[in-house]
Amino acid sequence: MNVTVNQVLTIVGRLDDSPGFDSARERFRRFLNERVTDAQSAGVVIQQCQQISGEQNHRAQQDAVVLTGRFLGFQTTFGRYQRDPGAAPVSGEWESRRRLHVTLNVCTHQTAAIELDTLAKVVRDGLNSHAPTDTPRVALCVVTPLYPAKARIEEMLRTRTHLDVRLISLGGILQMADMVAAGRLTHDDVLQVLNPDVNLDSVVHLLDRSATAAPRISEHAAGDVAVPEAEPAGGSYWIVAIRLDPLTPPDQFVASVIAKRRILAINPAPHVQRSIQPGDLICACITGEGFVAHAQVAGVITDGSPVVRDSERFKQMLRLTDVTVYGTSVIPAPELVRRVDLSLTEGVAPGAVAIPVSRREFELVTRSAALAESR
């Protein structure tokens, strides 16, 4: 994929439920089927949809989430954008050869309140009269970061009234797709997660097999967000959230400090117990601008006083190599914006804070930057 979602939407036209082979909806969905061929590409499309609010991006995101089922091993069917009053909120369907039918509901900030009774009825009765009736059925609510009623759905599901309804975050779906792509999960494992057997032995086996590859979670105070500390082979991945002095132009800082001098003075984020090591990869994110560059850490300077002014304020001084400066800033996904904001709430003074992220989150940024450069 070498164009952005907004460029595609400009070309295909306004997404609605108008039928026909050459309608905007069908042109966009053909684009997704032909060009989004792996889980990472789907993640990039979804991230771009989240960066700009509006009905069109919401509908494009819905289709991209439905398509992600393909990378979990399902046959996928797109749903309608607009639902009639009182109708079930069905974004699409996933089918696994008579083994499981998943009715999908993508919940965003533009989604109306969900009536679980209506959704459960669709699970029981099915949308299509010709669909096999002996196939196990579940409903899956995929909750995006800005969906305001997540807590309400969780509370309703705790009553155990709707046993065929599942809840998962958008990040959880993308993580499962990444794990399937990496060979850490199979399609059978995905079915087991979505529709577990009465016998829990298979779940125990799945957990045991995945334990060695699970990321560590750093200790955190009550009420704080858990910070994943992934340690992939070859190094870890970090965001360096940078707050500049108001008098320092971002372009000047990037050109002078990151691109030319190839150094970066940082502090670890609160509650992060480890530090950046040589070989780790970082993405630099300037507040108010977005991601501006990524690089590999070549080494750590122990005596930063002659290199950076007020070096005593920082715990690490990084020497950078393989620096890539973005021609266009990449706007972070909402969950990364929140994590960056939380890391910089300790004070209002200029500074840079390092936050560990997963490989998928890191690659979403770098792939988005590469797509922007190719325009």
Amino acid sitting at position 262: R
Position 373 confidence tier, pLDDT thresholds 50, 70, 90: low
For 182-231, the pLDDT digits (tens) are 788 889 889 988 887 656 666 666 666 655 444 443 333 333 333 334 44
Which carries the bigger pLDDT value, residue 368 or residue 291? Answer: 291
**What is the per-residue pLDDT for 243?**
87
Alpha helices in 217-279 (DSSP H): 250-253
**What is the per-residue pLDDT for 108?**
83
Question: For residues 368 and 44, is the Cβ–Cβ distance under 8 A?
Answer: yes
Q: Is residue 35 over pLDDT 60?
A: yes
Distance of CA 359 to the CA centre of its chain: 11
Answer yes or no: pTM beyond 0.75.
Answer: no
Position 67 confidence tier, pLDDT thresholds 50, 70, 90: very high
**What is the per-residue pLDDT for 222?**
37
Position 31 confidence tier, pLDDT thresholds 50, 70, 90: very high
Q: Is residue 371 over pLDDT 80?
A: no
Residue owning tokens 């804070």? 353
For 231-243, the pLDDT digits (tens) are 444 568 998 988 8
Take residue 305 and report the two structure tokens written for it: 């006083």
Q: Which of 150, 60, 152, 71 is nearest to 107 (CA)?
A: 150
For 152-170, the pLDDT digits (tens) are 888 888 887 888 888 998 8
